[in-house]
Chains A and B, each alone.
Chain A
Amino acid sequence: MTRPLLLQGGRVIDPSAGFDHVADVLVEHGKIAAVGSNIGAPDGADVRSVAGKIVAPGLIDIHVHLREPGNEDEETVASGARAAAAGGFTAICAMPNTDPVTDNQAAVGFIVRQSGRAGLARVHPIGAVSLGQKGERLAEFGEMVGAGAVAVSDDGKPVASSHLMRTALEYARTFGIPVADHCEDPTLAAGGVMHEGLVATRLGLKGIPAAAEEIMVARDVLLAELAGGHVHLCHISTRGAVAIIREAKERGIQVTAEVTPHHLTLTDVACEEYDTHAKMNPPLREATDVAALRGALKDGVIDCIACDHAPHAYDEKEAAFDDAPFGIVGLETAFAVAHTELVLSGAFTLPELIRRMSTEPARVFHLPGGTLKQGATADIIVLDPMAKWTVDPSAFHSKSRNTPFAGRALSGRALLTVVAGAVVHDLEHATTR
């Protein structure tokens, strides 16, 4: 049994309760025992003064790629969970595009067991929509949910067949889980490596038009309406998609959406000089898209931030732009990038950001955490929002280094990450377990 933990005198922010005051937080038996003033320390408690720091529910990332099984040189469940803990995440959701694909209860159970062995940030598996992510036959949602899956997705590729997507949305209702879709019309996007626009024209690279995403977003909300199911739209990147989601929510369709830190902060200009660390799918778009995404996140049209953590071996990105794989790592930079760009710029308050990175992702995928209410699981972080640091990929806990933020001066860091009452990351005592 872990010792009780008393965090004294921090600024406690709990977006789930609209709470934002200086207070103490007591954790006992893996749960939040009390939040209030002058809480006495139980016998044997680990008492820490966190005055001047932020105490908040742990961050939750509902869109992460771990590479186990299949490419353990790039990331394992344990290394991903360690990177997550260091980044202030107490829970992450692992996409099923592993090798083999996580499309059955045994594979889902494997992720759950690896997560338990690591004992770091929680890793919730996401099952595949279709067997082998081939887009043909539905995977067994019921058994996967029984084994611990929290959602289904064929992420990495879209569910191309409208019929299959409709069926998946209907069938997923039975189990109360969302179907998360990577929105991209495969025929429009075929061969594309970056956003279709002026930069792609100049670089001579094949573009992926914004319409490739928007067509699928529009289709998915229509199918969610038809099926009465919950569609979750992954990594939204265009202003047009924002408009479609806004309208769908106004019509009462069960749609939720996420956006990545990089789509909130970078544009296709980052692809200049063929920087393969700016190659991701969906691609970085234009400044007007970034502005629309920020606005949508602020007003809740986009529900949450998810970083689409996508580890790749360093030598895979050391290639011509066409030949490099899509994707970047994000768990260890997500909070600092979002905090520096969104909060310090004045666009968001800190409670608003924590809500979009903790409370809302928990709600969208029906996960524990995202709250400091008494009796809730003690998934807690202590943040130092003013901690200045420079991104050094060689210091990452992730096995991969592919980030466009290398060398970037950022502000904001997780000092302490607590999962179910146990400390899994302690920056000042350098013990990320």
Chain B
Amino acid sequence: MSLGKDLTGLEHMTPEQIRLILDTAEPFKEVSERQIKKVPALRGKTIVNLFFEASTRTRVSFEFAEKRLSADTVNVAATGSSVSKGETLVDTARNLEAMRIDMVVIRHPSSGAAEFLGNRIASNVINAGDGKHEHPTQALLDLLTIRDKHGKIEGLKVCLVGDVLHSRVARSNLWGLTKLGAEVAVCGPWSLLPRGIEALGVRVFGRLEEAIEWADVLNVLRLQLERMETGFIPSQREYYRVFGVTSERLERAPRPITIMHPGPMNRGVEIDSRVADGPHSIILDQVTNGVAVRMAVLYLLAGGRAELAEAAKGGGGNE
């Protein structure tokens, strides 16, 4: 089994492919715990991190994953590059291809940009977030973190809370979770829920209290502050009062609820600090797992085989 050439989203992946990535990530977790955090699995491979949108967490996580696999990496940010000088995406793609690179990690504000690039270049393309479409490695690290915490994914009730309409994290999570057998719900103001979402096999809660009553896991989405300006919700203040995940609300839950957040958090808007820093939060575990999951994706797309991942990491530390 392989992943194919590109990782553009989870919608069209099989459950087996998703499990393959999660299982391959397991042995790579340990690499980051070593004194010398490096294995030679991707030695000689060149990878371009092409970020058309600002990103700290995802870009750094990818870069660590690449470097810990010994790949040679180049970062291109939209500002200050030819991209900001009006070069089209297709020209950017052709120029990268002409430099004979092996992989591209792309983040882009337009939905479908990763697929667009993948269809036009021979290199492997990894989607690090495209518009409102998908952010597959974020969902994969969420899945891995849920599996670590609960020992399973199947049968768990996971609710995505907040701005589902504009969230690529929500879409990727929805596909990944349903494919692995979780029950999925979304919760938020109706103005931030996409039309027809029920048809994708998810439950919809209009009130956070109902979601808390139901869920084993809440994945709290970031509220992008520009949503107020564009009139989707009236104010942060009211959002926090109605949809803020607070310790008061969670105290009424029938069972302890695992709390996740893809970051960066707006403390006091979608989540309160006591919840984010509390005993049921696995938010920093998500960040840690992000590196291992991205190592697994890079390794598998480069042609590595899952059963050799253990051996690949075993050769580490000799650089």
Contact = CB atoms under 8 A, between A and B. Distances in A.
Interface of A: 196-198, 200-207, 209, 273-274, 315, 318-323
Interface residues of B, number: 25
18 contacts: A198-B200, A200-B195, A201-B197, A202-B200, A204-B130, A204-B131, A204-B134, A205-B112, A207-B195, A209-B195, A274-B115, A315-B88, A318-B88, A319-B88, A319-B89, A321-B112, A322-B110, A323-B89
Given A320-B89, A320-B110, A204 B195 contact: no
Interface string B273-307: 00000000000000000000000000000000000
A320 B111 CA distance: 7
Contacts of B313: none
A319 B195 contact: no
Interface string B196-218: 11011000000000000000000
Nearest to A209: B195
B168 interface: yes
Contact of B111 (A197, A209, A274, A319): A274
A318 B199 CA distance: 31
Nearest to A207: B195
The 5 A-B pairs with the shortest beta carbon distances in the complex, nearest first, are A204-B133, A274-B112, A320-B110, A204-B132, A204-B111
A196 B200 CA distance: 15
Contact of B131 (A197, A202, A322): A322
Contact of B132 (A196, A205, A209, A320): A205
Interface string B105-134: 000111111011000000000000011111
B171 interface: yes
Q: Which of B115, B168, B196 has the most CB of A within 10 A?
A: B196
Q: Which of A198, A203, A321 has the most CB of B within 10 A?
A: A203
Contacts of B199: 198
Interface in B117-163: 130-134
Contacts of B108: 320
B111 A203 contact: yes
A274 B113 CA distance: 9
Q: Which of A196, A200, A202, A207 has the most CB of B within 10 A?
A: A202
Contacts of A315: 88, 90
Contact of A323 (B110, B134, B197): B110
B315 interface: no
Contact of A320 (B11, B112, B194, B200): B112
Contacts of A320: 89, 108, 110-113, 116
B16 to A, nearest CB: 22
Given A201-B194, A205-B133, A274-B116, 16 more contacts: A198-B196, A201-B195, A202-B200, A203-B112, A204-B131, A204-B171, A206-B132, A207-B195, A209-B195, A273-B112, A273-B115, A274-B111, A318-B88, A319-B90, A321-B110, A322-B112
A388 B12 CA distance: 36
Nearest to A323: B110
Nearest to B52: A320
A114 B134 CA distance: 49
A273 B133 CA distance: 12
A288 B130 CA distance: 30
Given A274-B112, A274-B116, A201 B133 contact: no
Contacts of A196: 195
Contacts of B111: 203-205, 274, 320-322
Contacts of B115: 273-274
A255 B298 CA distance: 60
Given A202-B171, A203-B111, A203-B133, A318 B195 contact: no
A347 to B, nearest CB: 28
Nearest to A271: B112
A209 B195 CA distance: 10
A315 B86 CA distance: 14
Interface string B71-90: 00000000000000000111
A318 B90 CA distance: 7
B138 to A, nearest CB: 14
Interface in B1-57: 11
Nearest to A320: B110
Nearest to B115: A274
Nearest to B134: A204
Given A196-B195, A321-B111, A201 B200 contact: yes
